[in-house]
A and B are shown apart, each in its own frame.
Chain A
Amino acid sequence: MSLTHLQRLEAESIHIMREVVAEADKPVMLYSIGKDSAVMLHLAMKAFYPAKPPFPLLHVDTRWKFREMYAFRDRMVRELGLELLVYTNPEGIKKGINPFTHGSAIHTDIMKTEALKQALDLYGFDAAFGGARRDEEKSRAKERIFSFRTAQHRWDPKNQRPELWRIYNVRKNVGESIRVFPISNWTELDVWQYIYLQKIPIVPLYYAAERPVVARDGCLIMVDDERLPLLPGEVPMMKKVRFRTLGCYPLTGAIESQADTLPEIIQEMLLTTTSERQGRVIDHDSAGSMEKKKQEGYF
């Protein structure tokens, strides 16, 4: 009996999660509500069955997620019986940081990067699972599964520990923390195929539906609530759209699509000619921007 690629990827992810739980003092799972988080959470349910995952979920909330994401998050946590921590940068709340007046770069830095660091420090988590994949972006292709961060949360791409076989060196120095990426070796197709096979619930925004959108800078932005300032002459129009990736709604472009079943989504993905992160505004900032962000502590 030869294992299939998904069985082997699943086994590897479970192995990684168990290793962290066995060796870390206080692990946490970063839960961003998207499809990668959904797969990671599902794998965690498997890894520790019949026990529940022995760590809480942490959602670093910018307060600009889609409403359906919040609803989905609360439903999942309730149904699975897990502990959820929600953290928002109080500094950001006080200053009213938002993607419009401050721009996407500052918004991401303060509400995501800074907030994440604050949350990890506040709770004293020493290991945080994240759903990043190596196929997403070039700098991620070289990141280890266990990625060490200094007490200042910085990543040093030149000073990574070699990872051999299935043996992970989980030992860390005082103040250091680890970001662990259990689905590093999954591709976007693997993730979708696994969701399909395992019937993993995902946020409905991934399925095409009639939604109110406005066109901006070549992206379709959904008018998810009244906080989206409309430009002069801009009128939301109803279009059948869906999202390939989910983030802060003002920063996430929708695509026009008829795909309202999982096979259709996969079909569309396979036939499509642009990569997944193109819908995200943050990658376009500058060449090597993800690498720079990561060095500064972005996940």
Chain B
Amino acid sequence: MSHVSDLIATDIGQYLQSHEHKSLLRFITCGSVDDGKSTLIGRLLYESKMLLEDQLAAVVADSRKFGTQGDQIDFALLVDGLTAEREQGITIDVAYRFFSTDRRKFIVADTPGHEQYTRNMVTGASTADAAILMVDARKGVLTQTRRHSYLVWLLGIRHFAVSINKMDLVNYSESTYRRIVDDYQNFARQLGIEDVTFIPMSAFKGDNIVSPSPNMPWFHGTTLMGYLETVEIDEDRLQKAAFRMQVQWVNRPNLDFRGYCGTIAAGQIAVGQKIRSFPSGKQSLVQRIVTFDGDLQQAVAGQSITLTLADEIDSSRGDLITDSQNPAEVADQFECTIIWMSDEPLLPGRPLLLKTGAQTVTATVTQIKYQVNVNTLEHTAARQLELNAIGVCNLNLDRPVAFDAYTENRDTGGFILIDRLTNNTMAAGLLHFALRRSHNINRQHLDVDKAAHSRLMGQKPCVLWFTGLSGAGKSCIANEVEKQLLLMGRHSYTLDGDNVRHGLNKDLGFTEVDRVENIRRVGEVAKLMVDAGLIVLTAFISPYRSERALARSLVTATEFVEIFVDTPLTVAEARDVKGLYKKARQGTLKNFTGIDAPYERPENPEITLSTVNLSEQQAATKVLDYLKTHGYLA
């Protein structure tokens, strides 16, 4: 075998020395039931000589009993472990396989392809550096291929090897290969997958697995084994990131020693380096890096170490130690992706336990913003998440935790949700960003704060959030309200399309994604103005409930007044002040709310203004009355 060194027989000492320096790659294989995934893994084990005579003999015997390959050795039988599934002829769980070459040791997460086992694929992908996606050359890129790609991409894998398998069954046709490559590249661009390597192969016959196939002289790329031996290992990338280590255990063998034990999640640490511990934010210096084999001067991502610090900062299990210059964020409200893994559905509002790193806190999903259809990647509304569903949600914790975005670091941005009664693992989660940085201790403390601004101006700052169809009268009513406020000597400001779309948000269009971002920025600006003590009026269609909820979540509960300008579509379209409805009906204006984009009516607005029966002045008076009776203008 090409992958077993001759040194074993001739010079074992030399062999062992060279093998001390092997690296470790973890990868996942994804494919449908018949794509030949198990065959490929069996082949890799066989080619790297990980199969021994008795194992091979057992497989030959099994091939006769259960095999699907006639008299040939069915490599798939090597990897189908449990009796029940061997009888069903499918793999149903994550299995880990091992093989090694002279350059690397490999851990393969073998996961099944059918739909109901999303959770297994997500589990296998969570620790993988790279993914092998199996495509049957006869079938091309299938819905399943896209689904698997999305899942492993979601879990943070950035290196994809698309293995176009069963080339022997399409006469090793280059044009078939090219067509599949084009197809997949189109899809990969949509997701933003940058590093894709395509390999035409036959796992069954062994083409392009270890050595270039003579059957495909037109292919000049790498073999699969060549790819696996050289693709980037995620921990090597993480070594360049800012230092992160979750405190797993505090080692106190005696009163003179206090060691903080943990596995470095990112970056490097050296003796004398300045660190911060979160959530306290306290700073100190690294005094020693203690290991059984002697003190280290420095350590890197992936190592399990023990730190002692120059100061008694009293960190405990669950805290996050970071580089002092590049600290983590601390928050208790997040937007996140949740992959639900339980038969019991996720219901917003039900408390769960959340474990991230070494920390366990109580968490509640406050809102499911949308569910992602893993086949089409479409966003759909959802009130609950069923087994294997993926949703983008808002999450509330009972206390602040230090974190990074999952896309930055899987260890500091990934979490699991645990049922409080059964103790089962219910979900995997990926943190996106903090919704409200309520305890962000990195922030400069300001002596002149919101309360001070508010006292000076003699008003209670708030956001008057006008929402409704185009032409409903939002801007006109807001304008009238602001005029009245000015007459009363109040301090206010109106944010509307004109002063935002032409400046701050001129980079945004009108797709759903851009609309969401538009509203997010408006919400953030409104929040700053509330901090400055102003009464802020916003006049945006803001058609989605979830974005309005996001804007609401940025300020405190009483600071947000949602005003629904309720004008029927027919009335608004009849007015058509700017001629936009006409353009939308003609099809020259796309994604127009009410015509070809949805408007989600507010469910519990603080104020509803039905403009059919109200003049602008009457509507404005209704808003001002609300402000007076609720203490905003005291």
Quick check: A4 and B23 within 8 Å, CB to CB? yes
Q: Is A169 an interface residue (CB 8 A)?
A: yes
Within B18-55, the residues touching A (CB, 8 Å) are 19-24, 52-55
Quick check: B20 and A161 within 8 Å, CB to CB? no
CB 8 Å contact bits of A1-33 with B (1 = contact, 0 = none)? 111111111111011001101100000000000
Quick check: A164 and B249 within 8 Å, CB to CB? no
Report how far A89 CA is from B111 CA in the complex, Å: 40
Closest to A171 in B: B423
Q: Which residues of A contact B251 (CB under 8 A)?
A: 48, 50-51
Which stretch of A63-71, A93-101, A115-123, A269-277 is in the interface?
A269-277
Quick check: B97 and A18 within 8 Å, CB to CB? no
Report how far A189 CA is from B79 CA in the complex, Å: 20
Minimum CB–CB distance from A85 to chain B (whole Å) comes to: 22
Report how far A7 CA is from B236 CA in the complex, Å: 13
Within B259-303, the residues touching A (CB, 8 Å) are 259, 261-263, 290-293, 300, 302-303
Quick check: A167 and B356 within 8 Å, CB to CB? yes
Q: Is A152 an interface residue (CB 8 A)?
A: no
Quick check: A274 and B52 within 8 Å, CB to CB? yes
- Interface size counted on chain B using CB atoms at 8 A: 81
Quick check: A18 and B20 within 8 Å, CB to CB? no
- Centre residue among B86, B107, B418 by max chain A CB count within 10 A: B107
Within B221-272, the residues touching A (CB, 8 Å) are 233, 235-236, 239, 248-249, 251-253, 257, 259, 261-263
Q: Which residues of B contact A142 (CB under 8 A)?
A: 81-82, 93-96
Q: Which residues of A contact B341 (CB under 8 A)?
A: 162
Q: Is B8 an interface residue (CB 8 A)?
A: yes
Q: Which residues of B contact A6 (CB under 8 A)?
A: 20
Minimum CB–CB distance from B108 to chain A (whole Å) comes to: 10
Q: Which residues of A contact B52 (CB under 8 A)?
A: 272-275
Known contacts A8-B302, A160-B93, A189-B100; decide if A263 and B13 are in contact (CB<8 Å): yes
Could you say which of B86, B107, B239, B423 contacts A173, with CB atoms under 8 Å apart? B423
Q: Is A104 an interface residue (CB 8 A)?
A: no
Quick check: B81 and A139 within 8 Å, CB to CB? yes
Closest to A287 in B: B83
CB 8 Å contact bits of A31-56 with B (1 = contact, 0 = none)? 00000000000000111111110000
Quick check: A270 and B8 within 8 Å, CB to CB? yes
Which stretch of A73-81, A190-198, A203-211 is in the interface?
A190-198
Could you say which of A10, A169, A271 contacts B416, with CB atoms under 8 Å apart? A169
Quick check: A288 and B253 within 8 Å, CB to CB? no
Quick check: A46 and B291 within 8 Å, CB to CB? yes
Q: Is B120 an interface residue (CB 8 A)?
A: yes
Known contacts A22-B249, A275-B52; decide if A7 and B303 are in contact (CB<8 Å): yes
Quick check: B300 and A3 within 8 Å, CB to CB? yes
Quick check: B105 and A50 within 8 Å, CB to CB? no
- Interface size counted on chain A using CB atoms at 8 A: 69
Minimum CB–CB distance from A5 to chain B (whole Å) comes to: 4
Minimum CB–CB distance from A279 to chain B (whole Å) comes to: 11
Minimum CB–CB distance from A181 to chain B (whole Å) comes to: 11
Q: Is A172 an interface residue (CB 8 A)?
A: yes
Quick check: B303 and A141 within 8 Å, CB to CB? no
Q: Is B304 an interface residue (CB 8 A)?
A: yes
Closest to B62 in A: A287
Quick check: B95 and A50 within 8 Å, CB to CB? no
Within A147-177, the residues touching B (CB, 8 Å) are 157-158, 160-167, 169, 171-173
Q: Is A291 an interface residue (CB 8 A)?
A: yes
Could you say which of B97, B248, B261, B302 contacts A141, with CB atoms under 8 Å apart? B97
Q: Is B410 an interface residue (CB 8 A)?
A: yes
Could you say which of A52, A169, A193 contacts B423, with CB atoms under 8 Å apart? A169
Could you say which of B20, B54, B239 contacts A275, with CB atoms under 8 Å apart? B54
Within B112-154, the residues touching A (CB, 8 Å) are 119-120, 122-123, 126-127
Q: Which residues of B contact A50 (CB under 8 A)?
A: 251, 253, 257, 259, 290
Q: Is B414 an interface residue (CB 8 A)?
A: yes
Known contacts A48-B251, A167-B356; decide if A274 and B54 are in contact (CB<8 Å): yes
Q: Which residues of B contact A134 (CB under 8 A)?
A: 96, 98
Quick check: B233 and A2 within 8 Å, CB to CB? yes
Q: Is A185 an interface residue (CB 8 A)?
A: yes
Minimum CB–CB distance from A150 to chain B (whole Å) comes to: 13
Quick check: A5 and B23 within 8 Å, CB to CB? yes
Minimum CB–CB distance from B359 to chain A (whole Å) comes to: 10
CB 8 Å contact bits of A248-288 with B (1 = contact, 0 = none)? 00000000000000011011001111110010000000011
Report how far A22 CA is from B96 CA in the complex, Å: 26
Q: Is B357 an interface residue (CB 8 A)?
A: yes
Within B71-110, the residues touching A (CB, 8 Å) are 79-84, 86, 93-98, 100, 104-105, 107
Report how far A51 CA is from B254 CA in the complex, Å: 8
Quick check: A197 and B253 within 8 Å, CB to CB? no
Quick check: A165 and B253 within 8 Å, CB to CB? no
- Centre residue among A3, A11, A47, A167 by max chain B CB count within 10 A: A167
Q: Which residues of A contact B249 (CB under 8 A)?
A: 18, 21-22
Q: Give me 20 other A-B pairs in contact (C-beta within 8 A), A196-B16, A275-B52 excluded.
A: A3-B300, A14-B263, A15-B248, A15-B263, A18-B248, A18-B262, A46-B291, A135-B98, A139-B82, A142-B81, A157-B82, A158-B84, A162-B94, A165-B127, A169-B418, A173-B423, A185-B98, A263-B13, A273-B52, A274-B52
Can you report 24 A-B residue pairs in the complex whose CB atoms are below 8 A from each other? A1-B300, A2-B23, A3-B24, A4-B21, A5-B23, A7-B302, A11-B303, A15-B248, A19-B358, A21-B249, A22-B248, A50-B259, A51-B251, A51-B253, A142-B95, A142-B96, A162-B94, A162-B341, A163-B123, A167-B416, A169-B423, A193-B19, A266-B12, A275-B54
Name A's B-contacting residues (CB within 8 A): 1-12, 14-15, 18-19, 21-22, 45-52, 134-135, 138-142, 157-158, 160-167, 169, 171-173, 184-185, 187, 189-190, 193, 196-197, 263-264, 266-267, 270-275, 278, 287-288, 291
Name B's A-contacting residues (CB within 8 A): 4, 8-9, 12-13, 15-16, 19-24, 52-55, 79-84, 86, 93-98, 100, 104-105, 107, 119-120, 122-123, 126-127, 233, 235-236, 239, 248-249, 251-253, 257, 259, 261-263, 290-293, 300, 302-304, 306, 317, 341, 353, 355-358, 410-411, 414-416, 418, 422-425, 428
Q: Which 6 A-B pairs have the closest CB atoms?
A: A51-B253, A5-B24, A273-B53, A138-B81, A14-B304, A5-B105
